[in-house]
Amino acid sequence: MIFTRTNALKGEITVPGDKSISHRSIMFGALAEGTTRVTNFLRGADCLSTIDCFRKLGIDIEDLDSEILIHGKGLHGLTAPSSMLDVGNSGTTTRLISGILAGQRFTTELNGDESIQSRPMKRIMEPLTLMGADITSIRDNGCAPLRIHGQKLHGIAYTSKVASAQVKSCILLAGLYADGTTSVTEPYLSRNHTEIMLTHFGADITSKGTTATVTPGKDLHAQEIIVPGDISSAAYFIAAALMVPDSEILIKNVGINPTRDGLLRVCQDMGADITLLNENYGNGEPTADLLVRHSELHGVTVGGSVIPTLIDELPVVAALACFARGTTVIRDAQELKVKESNRIDVMVNNLRAMGAHIEGTDDGMIIEGGYPLHGAIIDSHLDHRIAMTFAITALASDGETSIKGADCVKISYPGFYEDLTRLAK
């Protein structure tokens, strides 16, 4: 797919539903008594993998266009699948479902695509094993495919080395099946959608600082869930409007949970003109419309506790830094190496190909901004976040940018190119 420089971006856009919240709505709906209705569900390939897995576990899930209906069967209602579960490209599906499967009365095997088969699963295997789970990496390499023999589980107090919502959620979900209280402490607070949504479903969850605790024994009850727009998808339009002169756009109904809104804070630190309008609240999740105007940016240092709040947006921050005066340092972001691709290497190689002054480090990137970018051939490594980042970077760069594997955006944002074309006429 080819992209070139564009005129100012103008107009309004509504981005699709949040990926993290969409996954959780299916999983918790399946474990609840009664029918959960979900509107603005993200029909990206990752969330469709979650639906597919829960159908194989015996849950009736109806897709009615305007909403998804999940006919939950309660905490103990899942049934053994007749074949291996396919998690596709989705780390969230893999890690969260493993916590649930660890507490069932049957055995499951699950596997995904090439990228999933190289992503680290020891981070969930270790705590689940401490809880008494029987979970093995079938090729004994700490990655999927995984085999999970359901067991009686014990509560643990676990301190995680990584700030990861997937690890935290996996342990909390296993904790629903344990014989006592389970708590997870992480180095920095990661996204807390599991804690918020499980509480709404009726689970006994408490949060204090960076520790979340679940006490089992409560049944879950069906909910009505309206999924807010995904800030991780809004990120590409925010960045495009900031990069392209004279742009002014309104992005409607975006989730701005403080454990997810790091991009807004970092952009504002860089000098970005972003105004929050029409702030609202639903299902425990805050939302707002974002008015974004082209801005002169300057470099910043991004690290520490803000990192988990914008982990999926760091490719966009690196691209934005090329258009900012001075140096931007991204640190404490080692996690970027174990996403759908090694996002440090892939960003450095591709931005360099476009003429950026960028260096990779062990835990991030250093970018010297202010050097004009030019088109190049970009290898997305089939990583949706990389493809979308370069599609918008190309709009503010000279010449032609060609993106290999551009179709991978379907993982989190199937209509991305159509929406971008509408804003950047």
Ligand X SMILES: C=C(OP(=O)(O)O)C(=O)O
Ligand Y SMILES: O=C(O)C1=C[C@@H](OP(=O)(O)O)[C@@H](O)[C@H](O)C1
- Which residues does the annotation place in the binding site for 3-phosphoshikimate? 19-20, 24, 164, 166, 312, 339
Q: Which residues are annotated as a binding site?
A: 19-20, 24, 91, 119, 164, 166, 312, 339, 343, 385
Residue nearer to ligand Y on the CB measure, 259 or 327: 259
Rounded Cα distance between 193 and 201, Å, is 12
- Segment lying near ligand Y (by CB under 6 A), choices 127-135, 160-168, 207-215, 403-411: 160-168
Please report how the helices 416-423 and 384-394 are oriented relative to each other, as an axis angle in degrees rounded to 10. 20
Q: With residue 101 as reference, give the H or E element that holds it.
A: helix 91-101
Minimum separation from the CB atom of position 128 to ligand Y (A): 15
Pick from 312, 313, 379, 383 the residue near ligand Y by CB under 6 A.
Answer: 312
Helices (H), 193-261: 193-201, 231-243
Told to judge if 312 belongs to the known catalytic residues of this protein, a careful annotator would answer yes
User: Is residue 273 within 8 Å of residue 292, measured between CB atoms?
Assistant: yes
C-alpha atoms less than 13 angstroms from C-alpha of 10 in its C-beta half-sphere: 4
- Check binding of 91 to ligand X (CB under 6 A): yes
Residues 76-105 that bind ligand Y (CB under 6 A): 91-92
Minimum separation from the CB atom of position 308 to ligand Y (A): 6
Minimum separation from the CB atom of position 92 to ligand X (A): 3
Burial 206-229 (b: 16+ CB within 10 A, else e): eeeebbbbbbbeeebebbebbbbb
Residue nearer to ligand X on the CB measure, 6 or 233: 233
Residue nearer to ligand Y on the CB measure, 6 or 50: 50
Q: How many other CB atoms sit within 10 Å of the CB of residue 327?
A: 16
- Active-site option among 312, 398, 407, 419: 312
What is the separation of C-alpha 17 from the centre of its chain, rounded to a whole number of angstroms? 12
Minimum separation from the CB atom of position 94 to ligand X (A): 8
Number of residues that bind ligand X (CB under 6 A): 9
- Check binding of 90 to ligand X (CB under 6 A): yes
- The token duo for 183 is 């708590």
Q: How buried is 310 (Cβ within 10 angstroms: 0-12 exposed, 13-18 middle, 19+ buried)?
A: buried
- Check binding of 168 to ligand X (CB under 6 A): no
- Check binding of 164 to ligand Y (CB under 6 A): yes
- Check binding of 339 to ligand X (CB under 6 A): yes
Q: Is 198 helix (H, G, I), strand (E, B) or coil?
A: helix
Catalytically active residues, by annotation: 312
Which residues here bind ligand X, judged by CB under 6 A? Answer: 46, 90-92, 312, 339-340, 385, 412
